[in-house]
Structure 1
Amino acid sequence: MIDAQAPELPAIESAFQPVLSLAHGAAVGYEALLRARQGQASCSPEQAFRLAREAGRYGEYERRCTRHHLRRFLQFADDESVLFLNLHPDVLADPVHGAALADDLLESGVSPGRVVLEVLEARQDTPSALVDAVDRLRSYGFLIALDDFGAGLTNLGRVWDLRPDVVKLDRELICKAVSSYRNARSLLRLVDLLHDIGTFIVVEGIETEEQAKLSADCDADFVQGYYFGRPTIDLEAVTAASNVVPSALDDQLTDSRKLRRIGDLDELMPYRHAFGLFRDAWCSGVAVEQAARHFLACQWALRVFVLDDTGRQVGENIESDRHDPWRRSTFPLLARSSGANWSKRSYFRDALVRPGETIVSEPYMSSSSKNLCVTLSTYVTVDGRGFVLGGDILFEALCRMLA
Structure 2
Amino acid sequence: MIDAQVPGLPHIESAFQPVLSLAHGAAVGYEALLRATSGSAPCSPDEAFALARRAGRYGEYERACTLHHLRRFVRFADDETVLFLNLHPDVLADPVHGPALADDLLESGVTPGRVVIEVLEARQDTPLALIDAVDRLRRYGFLIALDDFGSGLTNLGRVWDLRPDVVKLDRELICKAVTSYRNARSLLRLVDLLHDIGTFIVVEGIETEEQAQLSADCDADFVQGYYYGRPTIDVEAGGTLARVPTSTLGAQLTDARKLRRVSDLDELAPYRRAFGLFRDAWCWGVPIERAARHFLECEWALRVFVLDNTGRQVGENIESERHDHWRRATFPILARSAGANWSKRTYFRDALVRPGETIVSEPYMSSSSKNLCVTLSVLVNVGGNGFVLGADILFEGLCRTLA
TM-score bracket, shorter-length normalisation: over 0.9
One-letter amino acid of the counterpart of residue 318, structure 1: I
Matched, 1:63 2:54: no
1:8-87 superposed matches below 5 A = 8-87=8-87
Q: Secondary structure at the match of 2:12?
A: strand
* Aligned partners of 2:191 and 2:218 also within 8 Å: yes
C-alpha displacement at 1:356, in angstroms? 1.0
User: 2:269 — aligned with what?
Assistant: 269
C-alpha displacement at 1:4, in angstroms? 7.4
State the Cα deviation string for residues 270-292 of structure 1 (Å, max 9, x = none).
Answer: 10011011111111111111111
State the Cα deviation string for residues 24-50 of structure 1 (Å, max 9, x = none).
Answer: 000000000000111111111111111
Aligned-partner Cα distance in 2 for 1:5–1:191: 39
1:284-295 superposed matches below 5 A = 284-295=284-295
User: 1:187 — aligned with what?
Assistant: 187
User: 2:7 — aligned with what?
Assistant: 7
* Aligned partners of 2:10 and 2:39 also within 8 Å: yes
Give the stretch that moved more between structures: 62-71 or 246-255. 246-255
State the Cα deviation string for residues 155-196 of structure 1 (Å, max 9, x = none).
Answer: 011111111000000000000000000000000111011111
Aligned-partner Cα distance in 1 for 2:179–2:24: 27
User: 2:369 — aligned with what?
Assistant: 369
One-letter amino acid of the counterpart of residue 23, structure 1: A
Give the stretch that moved more between structures: 84-93 or 228-237. 228-237
One-letter amino acid of the counterpart of residue 47, structure 1: E
Q: Secondary structure at the match of 1:66?
A: helix
* Aligned partners of 1:150 and 1:170 also within 8 Å: yes
User: 1:205 — aligned with what?
Assistant: 205
User: 2:130 — aligned with what?
Assistant: 130
Matched, 1:298 2:295: no
User: 1:110 — aligned with what?
Assistant: 110
Instruction: Tell me: CA distance 1:293–1:237, structure 2 relative to 1, closer, same or farther (3 Å).
Output: farther
Aligned-partner Cα distance in 2 for 1:5–1:243: 30
Aligned-partner Cα distance in 1 for 2:204–2:173: 9
User: 1:163 — aligned with what?
Assistant: 163
One-letter amino acid of the counterpart of residue 356, structure 1: G
Aligned-partner Cα distance in 2 for 1:225–1:134: 26
C-alpha displacement at 1:256, in angstroms? 3.2
Q: Secondary structure at the match of 1:145?
A: strand
User: 2:259 — aligned with what?
Assistant: 259
Q: Secondary structure at the match of 1:402?
A: coil
* Aligned partners of 1:258 and 1:402 also within 8 Å: no
C-alpha displacement at 1:383, in angstroms? 1.4
* Aligned partners of 2:355 and 2:378 also within 8 Å: yes
One-letter amino acid of the counterpart of residue 223, structure 2: V
Q: Secondary structure at the match of 2:98?
A: helix
C-alpha displacement at 1:6, in angstroms? 2.7
Q: Secondary structure at the match of 1:148?
A: strand
* Aligned partners of 1:144 and 1:164 also within 8 Å: yes
Q: Secondary structure at the match of 2:76?
A: coil
Aligned-partner Cα distance in 1 for 2:329–2:288: 26
One-letter amino acid of the counterpart of residue 184, structure 1: A
Instruction: Tell me: CA distance 1:27–1:356, structure 2 relative to 1, closer, same or farther (3 Å).
Output: same
One-letter amino acid of the counterpart of residue 135, structure 2: D
User: 2:121 — aligned with what?
Assistant: 121
Aligned-partner Cα distance in 1 for 2:167–2:58: 25
C-alpha displacement at 1:5, in angstroms? 3.9
Aligned-partner Cα distance in 2 for 1:362–1:146: 29
One-letter amino acid of the counterpart of residue 141, structure 2: G
State the Cα deviation string for residues 291-341 of structure 1 (Å, max 9, x = none).
Answer: 111111111100000001100001110101111132344111111101100
After TM superposition, the score normalised by the length of structure 2 is: 0.97
RMSD: 1.4
* Aligned partners of 2:4 and 2:68 also within 8 Å: no
Matched, 1:308 2:308: yes
Aligned-partner Cα distance in 2 for 1:225–1:348: 43
Matched, 1:234 2:224: no
Aligned-partner Cα distance in 2 for 1:26–1:248: 11
Aligned-partner Cα distance in 2 for 1:171–1:182: 18
User: 2:146 — aligned with what?
Assistant: 146
Q: Any stretches of 5+ residues in structure 1 without a counterpart?
A: none
Instruction: Tell me: CA distance 1:20–1:85, structure 2 relative to 1, closer, same or farther (3 Å).
Output: same
* Aligned partners of 1:377 and 1:391 also within 8 Å: yes
User: 2:353 — aligned with what?
Assistant: 353
C-alpha displacement at 1:234, in angstroms? 1.2
Matched, 1:390 2:390: yes
Q: Any stretches of 5+ residues in structure 2 without a counterpart?
A: none
Q: Secondary structure at the match of 2:179?
A: coil
Give the stretch that moved more between structures: 187-196 or 325-334. 325-334
One-letter amino acid of the counterpart of residue 161, structure 1: D
User: 1:380 — aligned with what?
Assistant: 380
Aligned-partner Cα distance in 2 for 1:88–1:347: 46
Q: Secondary structure at the match of 1:356?
A: coil
Instruction: Tell me: CA distance 1:400–1:168, structure 2 relative to 1, closer, same or farther (3 Å).
Output: same
State the Cα deviation string for residues 207-262 of structure 1 (Å, max 9, x = none).
Answer: 00100110111111100000000000011498534454554443232533421100
Instruction: Tell me: CA distance 1:358–1:52, structure 2 relative to 1, closer, same or farther (3 Å).
Output: same
